[in-house]
Structure 1
Amino acid sequence: MDVPHAKLRALYDFWRTRAAERRLPSRRDFLPEEFAPWMGHIAVVDVEHPSMEMRFGLFGAAFVYVNNIDLTGRPVAEMPAIVRDVILSDYRGCIESWQPLYTRRQSVNRDWTHIHRIVLPCSSDELLVDKLIVGLYTEGGKSPYQE
């Protein structure tokens, strides 16, 4: 998978090493302190089955900046309407395909910035994707969440 953003490439490589011989890593394969290089740029999405409802267990500062709202502990469906359908589609695609997704898109909230995002699926039982680790960085403008 091509991930041109250096910090998100490092996150992707880290995620891949944790899978070891399995198809996907489990969230429990990671210690919270291991995410220090990406602090503030991470969201963790809990996926409920069979309903496919998703909730942000963690919504980092870069996500708050881009979306103008802190959704920690809240459903993904509560994202601003302008981005909700695209985000839900991307997340569902990762859940169904068991594949990571990297995107670079123009921000809909800030016309002077682009958003680099990676979605990394995790499975605790090797049967269902039950967590998504999402990394996000911005590019352009005066954002404090670039790099």
Structure 2
Amino acid sequence: MTSPENPKPPRGADKLESPSLTREELMALADQATAELAEGQSALLDSWFERAKLPLPRLLRDPPRERIDQPRLQSLHDHWMALPRAVDLPNIRDLDPMTLHPWLGDLVVLDVLEEGRDFRYRLYGSLLAEHVGFDLTGKRTSDIAAKMRIGSMIPLFFLALYRRAVLDRRAWYSRHQPPHTVTAFFWRRLILPFAGDDGEVSRLLVGILPSSRNGHTRQSVDLGRRDA
């Protein structure tokens, strides 16, 4: 984090708001942020949140259930924890759409590419697509990030988190407030890795919940309607 004692912004920070960031530049910045997140915090990403006058994101590696502050994502974490494991992770064969039905609209499934440096959206939940106004199924994470007109920080942020989940072979949980041009007040994201038959992480299951400015998630709004 930038401080009065260390006012110089971290290397690469000046590029984060560029609308013309190339894929090569993006991937180099993602390398930097991913390495920094090994310590649980990225000076590069923090500098962008600070300059954008946004609170720093909440990041948890291997989150305890009680630290996941949304029941819908808690239950998804419970499901993942209960799956059988050959060693430390469930197998991709246990990514069964039938058992994931309660969460499907809020789920993203990512194929791991380039030994964990990039990802392809295998599934993009219908409720998420409705919220953001587009469907990312079939797209690469790096391609999406390079086309962002508000700068590449937010997609770079979750690209680095996805990479860390692959490298750490652990769940990651984040909550962040996006730029004010985005409709949600903040986003919760639970990243859950799955291994292939070779033991390597080959797919990520991600539960994503946007929250409105009054604090409601989609689940709490739906509950309110049923109680009406």
TM-score band by shorter chain is 0.7 to 0.9
| Count of aligned pairs between the two proteins | 147
Match of 2:192 in 1: 120
SS at match of 1:33: coil
Query: For the residues of structure 2 that align with 1:32 and 1:112, how far apart are their CA atoms?
Result: 27
1:70 to 122, 135, 158: 135
Give the deviation of 1:64 after TM superposition.
Answer: 2.3
> 5 Å matches for 1:4-83?
4-20=69-85, 22-50=87-115, 52-65=117-130, 67-79=132-144, 80=148, 81-83=152-154
Query: Which runs of 5 or more structure 2 residues have no equivalent in the other structure?
Result: 1-63, 220-228
Letter of the 1:72 counterpart:
T
Match of 2:212 in 1: 140
- Let me know the Cα RMSD of the aligned residues: 2.4
Aligned CA distance change for structure 1 residues 51 and 95 (closer, same or farther; 3 Å) = closer
TM-score, normalised with respect to structure 1: 0.86
**Which structure: greater strand fraction?**
1
Query: For the residues of structure 2 that align with 1:96 and 1:11, how far apart are their CA atoms?
Result: 21
TM-score, normalised with respect to structure 2: 0.58
**Is residue 62–residue 136 contact of structure 1 (8 Å, CA) maintained in 2?**
no
Please, which moves more after superposition, 5-14 or 70-79? Answer: 70-79
Q: Larger Cα Rg: Structure 1 or Structure 2?
A: 2
**Is residue 85–residue 91 contact of structure 2 (8 Å, CA) maintained in 1?**
no
SS at match of 1:24: coil
Task: Answer yes or no: is 1:129 the counterpart of 2:194.
Answer: no
**Is residue 154–residue 178 contact of structure 2 (8 Å, CA) maintained in 1?**
no
Aligned CA distance change for structure 1 residues 14 and 40 (closer, same or farther; 3 Å) = same
Identity %: 25
Query: Which runs of 5 or more structure 1 residues have no equivalent in the other structure?
Result: none
**Is residue 62–residue 137 contact of structure 1 (8 Å, CA) maintained in 2?**
no
Give the deviation of 1:145 after TM superposition.
Answer: 6.2
Query: For the residues of structure 1 that align with 2:184 and 2:158, how far apart are their CA atoms?
Result: 20
2:167 to 96, 109, 126: 96
Match of 2:16 in 1: none
